[in-house]
Amino acid sequence: MPPKVKKMDSAPAFVRALLAHFDATRRDLPWRSTTDPYRIWISEVMLQQTRVETVIPYYDRWMQQFPSVATLADASEQVVLRAWEGLGYYSRARNLHAAAKVVRERHSGLVPDSVEGLRALPGIGAYTAGAVSSIAYGVAEPAIDGNARRVFSRILDMADPSLTQIHTAVRDIIPADRPGDFNQAVMELGATICTPRPCCSKCPVQWHCRAFALGTVHLRPGVSARKASPVFNIAVVVLIDADGRALLTQRPPRGLLAGFWTFPAAEPQAQQSSYAKAARRMAAALVSAPLSRARRLDPVSHAFSHRTEVYHPFVYHTRRAAASYDTAFRWVAIDSMHELPVPVAQRRIARAAGLVVHELHL
């Protein structure tokens, strides 16, 4: 039986102190000067797992390129992925694109104003629905991200409160006249003061914090056993032709990095000694002409949410490309790769490869 959430005795004073602090310290962010639900929705999706400073230039560029639901819905997936490139977690961009089409087709281009309507869109969960409905439409709905969860775990002095328990507690206290500001104030408190190493002496709601009163702040939230993400080592083939172009391949339409262009890669290898062999085998299968000796580049790693991939790139030169490839392959000048959606780690490989191309026997 999960522990019961005790009601806050001083909820109105807590809300007043929190909002007063937010009013005095709120950052002037581009998505805070609007109540346009489309803009708020985009900012909330970009901000997931990503720092505010990183998001700002992406948000500004996105709004120039896709100023409305209709412009986003009309764009091709490749263009949308290209605009998202560098923010990671690309399923967010694909879901935004799919959801924009649904909004255009089923909601006459208007972002739904109810939590249920929002949650029916691809990629929108409880957090995004709460944030968009409360900030854009003034619906008294909680928006609980990782920061808010940490704050309420301490305010309520609960080691591991469930989302349902936090929602129940917040619905009791969220002010009907400023639900969006309340949600943003809690998240901002978690991002700036009630961080994993909290600065309780500067906290505007210290007097309302049960964990502070009981001396249990360091125990809240409890440490959940996080699984270390597995690491996969992958040999990557950078094949350069006589014109200095590299061979790229497009990822399948579903799965990790779907639709992106990458250098051909072998299956994950367990032994370091086998990377070179795997790369050579793959390069030989891609061209019928002789290959130069491999030039090995420094490994490049990239952490996804559930796995880390370490790429071991090998550069080869060939004077003649195979006569035909299927449409999943394309020869691309290294300095034109920016025209295609290419993951950030692959761009780092391309930069390093560009530096060594002139050292190969071209």
The contact set with ligand SF4 (CB under 6 A) reads 151, 154-155, 193-194, 198, 200, 203, 205-206, 209, 211-212, 217
Distance, in Å, from the CA atom of 250 to the CA atom of 264, rounded to the nearest integer, reads: 9
CB atoms within 10 A of CB 174: 23
Closer CB to ligand SF4, 205 or 342, in the complex: 205
State the nearest-atom distance from the C-beta of 26 to ligand SF4, in Å: 17
Q: Is 267 a catalytic residue?
A: no
CB 212, min distance to ligand SF4, A: 4
CA distances from 324 to 157, 173, 282, 320, 362 (A): 65, 65, 16, 11, 22
CB 48 → ligand SF4: shortest distance, Å? 22
Q: How far is the CB of 16 from ligand SF4 (least distance, A)?
A: 15
Closer to ligand SF4 at the Cβ: 59 or 212?
212
**What is the residue type of 330?**
R
**Based on CB atoms, which residue is closest to ligand SF4, 148 or 203?**
203
Q: Which is nearer to ligand SF4, 135 or 217 (CB)?
A: 217
H or E element in which residue 105 lies: helix 91-106
- Which helix (H) or strand (E) segment holds residue 167: the answer is helix 163-173
Burial of 205 (0-12, 13-18, 19+ CB in 10 A): buried
- Token pair for 259: 């639709």
**Do the strands 295-296 and 308-317 form a parallel or antiparallel pair, or are they unpaired?**
antiparallel
Q: Among residues 44, 85, 188, 309, which one is catalytic?
A: 44
For ligand SF4, which is the closer residue by CB, 8 or 340?
Answer: 8
Q: Using CA atoms, how far apart are residues 333 and 190, in angstroms rounded to an integer?
A: 46
Q: Which residues are catalytic?
A: 44
